A = this chain, B = another copy of it.
């Protein structure tokens, strides 16, 4: 029992890892813990629109654990250029440390979910990645492009970094977003 308690208290640190998007109507930045909750519900709600039928429970489980490595590494804006291989290696070391607090069977189960999400080779991981990429886009579309403008991100850079993943996992969501992103460009909601 103490191992599980140590793990859960370690997770509290994800509440202090800030992202670049602000919750609607708030001045602060959102953190990776509340983001993980929201994308789990985005995926669960979107399930009927997955590109192929998916085991939504495994999708949700993946989304709940996929950002835990940021406890050691922090969050990196998805639009940053380069350095991703090293960043992912650091995140892997982090999740090995953190999941390693648990009894070995549970640690291995979470680590397998983490690897599946990162590899993006299963239908479930493609759908999970689509939800993860789509959520900050949805917030920015509701927020006049707040994090795009604050970080000088262009319409082309957003599309390049989110379209392949969202389209692969949830084509209907990409069709919806593509039109909204075009409107956002006309409104001047992008940087650069």
Contact = CB atoms under 8 A, between A and B. Distances in A.
A11 B30 CA distance: 13
Interface string A134-171: 01001100100000000000000000000000000000
Interface in A4-24: 4-5, 7-9, 11-16, 23-24
Interface residues of A, number: 47
A37 B66 CA distance: 12
Given A16-B26, A30-B15, A64-B37, A138 B45 contact: no
Contact of A139 (B12, B31, B135): B12
A172 B102 CA distance: 16
Contact of A33 (B38, B60, B142): B38
A118 to B, nearest CB: 18
A162 B173 CA distance: 42
Most buried by B among A5, A14, A45, A64: A45
Contacts of A12: 23-25, 38, 139, 142
Contacts of A65: 41
A53 to B, nearest CB: 15
Given A5-B176, A138-B8, A40 B64 contact: yes
A178 B181 CA distance: 54
A129 interface: no
B38 A8 contact: yes
Contacts of A37: 33-34, 36-37, 40, 64
A166 to B, nearest CB: 12
5 contacts: A1-B172, A4-B46, A7-B45, A12-B25, A48-B103
Give the 8 A-B residue pairs with the shortest CB-CB distance, closest first: A57-B57, A33-B34, A37-B37, A15-B23, A1-B176, A34-B34, A12-B24, A15-B34
